[in-house]
Amino acid sequence: MPTVKRARLYVGRHAKRTILLFLLFTILMTISLLGFALHTASNAAIKELRGSIGGYFMLQTGADGNEKTGDALLEQVKTLDNISRWNGLDTYYLYTEGLELVPGANYGTGTVGEFMPKFIGCTNSSLHPRFLSASFQLAEGRHIMADDIHKVVLSQDIARKNGLAVGDTVTGSVVEGVRDWQENAYGTQAGFEIVGIYAATRSEPVSPATQESELQENMLFTDISTAKELFHAKFPERTEKDYTYRSGLMLFLKDPARMEETVSLLKQQPWADWDGLVISENSAAYQQAAGPIQKAASISLFLLAVILVISIVLLSLTLLMWLRERVTEIGILISLGLSAQDICGQILLENYMVAAPAYGLSVLLGAALAGQADRLAGGVLDSVKLSAAQAVVVLVCAAAVVLATVLLASLPVTRKRPKDIFTDLS
């Protein structure tokens, strides 16, 4: 009787055993497909996250002030292959007459300090640490961009106190008593159009001695072009190449996982005396966002490994148990002249006949359940989908597992002589 016919008859005559094996295959392959889909989606999400958020390191002038963080250094650092974007920062103060600030230590004194907020010049305000950490969130309008001139983003508190909205203007000037300015610059003015309004999402500890300029609600984010204009007003004898990003340069990475490597490479370059600069690494935003996804990826990888081990163990134990019940049958087949290869082939076909429809059902179940896998991952993945490539990989792995378990379970019996088999039974 042909091997295929023997296998088909055996599967049909042992319905309970066939159904049990069918369910076992279906469950194991469905879980494998889901684990594979989740692991693939997690890795894709981490890769996308590296490009969208990224970590950054900060370059700041050291205490001796000899090395400057200016445009010349920025242009060189930008050539590193892992640098994706940057944000230059500067801090200065202006007197904003009539602009009511959140009250601090100078409230009601009528002094310059009562109307002196902190101005933060930046290339892109959305890349400022306050916005990256979500302690500030844009509530209206837009952020400061690199090509802006005389633009400002201020807090909801100041906007409400002064009845200001996007499109209105505020003016700052240099007068006696404004921090970090000399007499030669008195009278300098700068007007700013409001392009955005932010909300402070976290409170900060303050004391009665806290100055208005140090309150988070009194921070005004302005464009870097205006900061450079005011630099020239302050130091008319200096040229544009002398301008320094006094609050530092933020250099963002394409791949924050390569932070240490990138900083090490930077220090090998002859562009500056790196001992004269302060380099601060910061990948907190990336780590915070990537943490749950990396956890999901680790869990899914562990799940795949566990499922593979469990599959081999369960199938081996099941087949070994069933083969012990078929020892007489195998002995008869061997005595009729069937080789070990023929018998192993029959048992393998029996399993494949059950595994094939189980695989088809597993693909359908896996595709239906993949959309719900994000919920199991804590909602950190945008989309979990079962692809054709994943289904093929699981099919190949399942076929290999079945082959290995059948050989492992059947070869010890099929290699015996019929006489030895029947002797063992007696």
> Each residue of 150-203: pLDDT tens digit?
999 999 999 999 999 999 999 999 999 999 999 999 999 999 999 999 999 999
Predicted pLDDT at 93: 97
Q: What confidence tens digit (pLDDT) does each residue in 107-150 have?
A: 999 999 999 999 999 999 999 989 988 899 999 999 999 999 99
Phi-psi region of 398 (alpha: psi -120 to 50; beta: other; left: phi over 0): alpha
Predicted pLDDT at 150: 97
Predicted pLDDT at 371: 65
Return mean pLDDT, the chain: 83
Predicted pLDDT at 177: 94
CA distance 365 to 395: 14
Predicted pLDDT at 39: 72
At 185, list the tokens: 């610059």
CA distances from 365 to 66, 263, 343, 369 (A): 66, 47, 33, 6
Confidence band for 419, pLDDT divided at 50, 70 and 90: low
**Torsion angle defined by CA atoms of residues 99, 104, 105 and 107, in that order, rounded to the nearest 10 degrees:** 40
CA distance 161 to 155: 10
Average pLDDT over residues 372-387: 60
Predicted pLDDT at 176: 94
Q: What confidence tens digit (pLDDT) does each residue in 224-246 have?
A: 999 999 999 999 988 878 899 99
Amino acid 365 reads L
CA distance 49 to 61: 30
CA distance 196 to 360: 55
Q: Which of 8-17, 253-262, 365-374, 409-418 has the lowest mean pLDDT?
A: 409-418
When computed from its CA atoms, the radius of gyration of the chain, rounded to whole angstroms, is 35
Q: Which residue has the higher pLDDT, 167 or 31?
A: 167
Average pLDDT over residues 314-322: 74
Residues 6+ apart with CB under 8 A from 104: 113, 114, 206, 210, 211, 212, 213, 214, 215, 218
At 409, list the tokens: 């379970």
At 101, list the tokens: 């600030």
